[in-house]
Structure 1
Amino acid sequence: MNTTSTTSATPPENVQPDLLYSEEEEALRAAVRDLLTDHCDATGVLSRAESDTPHDLALWKSLADGMGLAGLLVPEDRGGQGATHREAAVVLEELGRAVAPVPYLTSAVVATEALLACADGEDVLASLASARRIGVLAVGLHTAPGASFATARVTDGALHGELTGIADAAVADVLLVPADDGGLYAVEAAAVTVTGQTSLDLTRPVATVILDGARGRRLGDAEPAVRRALRAGAGLLASEQLGLADWALTETVRYLKDRRQFDRPVGGFQALKHRLAQLWLEVVNLRAAARNAAAALSAGQDTDVAVAVAQAYAGQVAVHAAEEALQLHAGIGMTWEHPVHLYLKRAKADSIAYGTAGAHREALAELVDLRAP
């Protein structure tokens, strides 16, 4: 007897995401880690941090152009790889483990997401996806997804104003500038003045962008584009923080196994075991939160809640992990020559990037209707 299937091809709503890594994601991780092992050693990152050019553009070219990672979030029919936020999260985990001084988060995630929300600008999007150019959203790195953001003034078709705290602006080829007329404009970097600011994180410097009559092309509405970009940035930042925390834990355990005191490994002392066990639990919980945020962004379901949960937790764990690494590496951890200080500075800077933990807790309370009385 013939039967007709009534099963819908549309997946059911509110399906619990699979937070485990797929084989493809593990293969991507291995490839990125191999590249970073060969081209992003601690000595090189430290030497760049002390120079006037902290960004490693050769490494960026290998990652973005050679491996095609700049266009992961861009659909294939628009010149990209057609991957999801889950794959981008894996890349950011590895970049966090290496504190790699490349503009992946700012260009391949935040600027790209802003462009994907715009009605115009396919040429700019394609140039970022192919790594021909680096794009930066000219919104302060501290800005949370739901917060107000500074805009440039539009006068007779020209942009004026001063925007501060713009991450990776020093290496940008194009800036995406929100303006007071509600538009998002593409402005060539050569048309603005970029002045470096004192930055705690030496591997992701921030700068002031001064627009004095710069001309730009309107790409779309700023509000939805900026909101989408900051939400993706905050959600995937948790994966970078996860990679950083995981490195700190792994390296600390390794060091304490090797270092001996009273003719026994320091890691064998009960008090240190307890500290490491607590840190391990925090990192495991962070992994779940970060993976959930990436999965939610990929599926487009419960994204605001998942991102808020991840960022309400990620900052404190990454900072705690870096602080423990510095302290438990003892005297060597306090020296500039050891890379742990770079991880602590990145963790501290990340803890206020795209909104503080407090801001995300407030947002989460609004989302789930658990506001304080």
Structure 2
Amino acid sequence: MATDDVRIQGKKLKTLPKVSLHDHLDGGMRAQTVLELADDLDLELPADDAEGLEDWFSDHVESGSLEDYLEKFSLTVGVLQTREGLVRAAKEFVEDLADDGVVYAEVRWAPEQHLTRGLSLDDVVDAVQEGIEEGEDAADARGKDIRVGQLLTAMRQTARSREIAELAVAWRGRGVVGFDLAGPEDGFPASNHRAAFDYLAEQFFPTTVHAGEGAGLASIRSALIDGRAVRLGHGVRIANDLDVVSREGEEVLVTFGDMARWVRDREITLELSPTSNLQSGAVTAWGDSMDAHPFDLLYQLGFSVTVNVDNRLMSRTTLTRELGLLAQAFDYDLDDLEAFQLNAAAGAFLPVEEREELIEIIAEGFQR
């Protein structure tokens, strides 16, 4: 599906204001940039041109396994080990979001993965922040208004989460807006990082936790209880806690489990990434096509669903494309697409006054 000319009710989706909450820096690089940075560092890649590299990623992420999906990030992480590389990647990341109509975004990345060439944790955060600000300025010069905050990610399979939590709090007010836990879910529950989450709670610092993507309800439970997550990274398997009793046309009778009811009633944001969820096998229980994704079921039941890209390079996608795919699969109109952006704005790690401003920007943009 082409992304530039997707229209719903006559309106071009690319121009509508969007919010991106789940977007990985190392998964959203330009293929040409990966090639050039790899050449600078004398790193070998599986392709020698941008199209070939995009094809390689696209061919290798259709694994149906989160662990296999994550392995492909060693290439992009490998080229992001210098200040110059991090600044460039962050700048281009923001510019590409602005071109996609995004007005607010949170970029997540793991500082602990970018230290192999002598940079410190503070160095890498500072470099990404410099790139973000350069990208915002470049977008502004082209008449595109965008704001981007950092989510610092700790890797669940390592033991540096408390250190990354302290780093995130130290950079509060200087570009970092929240904390994330990512990596392989199976065998690495959020409870392993309780010390970090206790510290973040004491500091009143917001957290999102990858859960319900590579593992099931136990992973989500640990994210909510041990991680005090106010958003769930993907969280799609919360649908496992729903029992569909009957379907009659568009009417669905569902029995809620306690966890699903808690997530819905507390309006805990689900950071759903439709294409990525299919590629990683997160929705295998429901099917292998977009119209089988439980996104619509969760939306119709009142969950705070949001639409995200996860990894633009690996999934060869944009936020415009994801919205278009969902609209095609579930016959959504502009009111539905606006609802997803309003959910994302409400879930953003911003002060309430700034969230209200963002909501106004979205409402005005869709009304135009």
Give yes or no for TM over 0.5.
no
Structure 1 length-normalised TM: 0.27
Structure 2 length-normalised TM: 0.27
Larger radius of gyration: 1
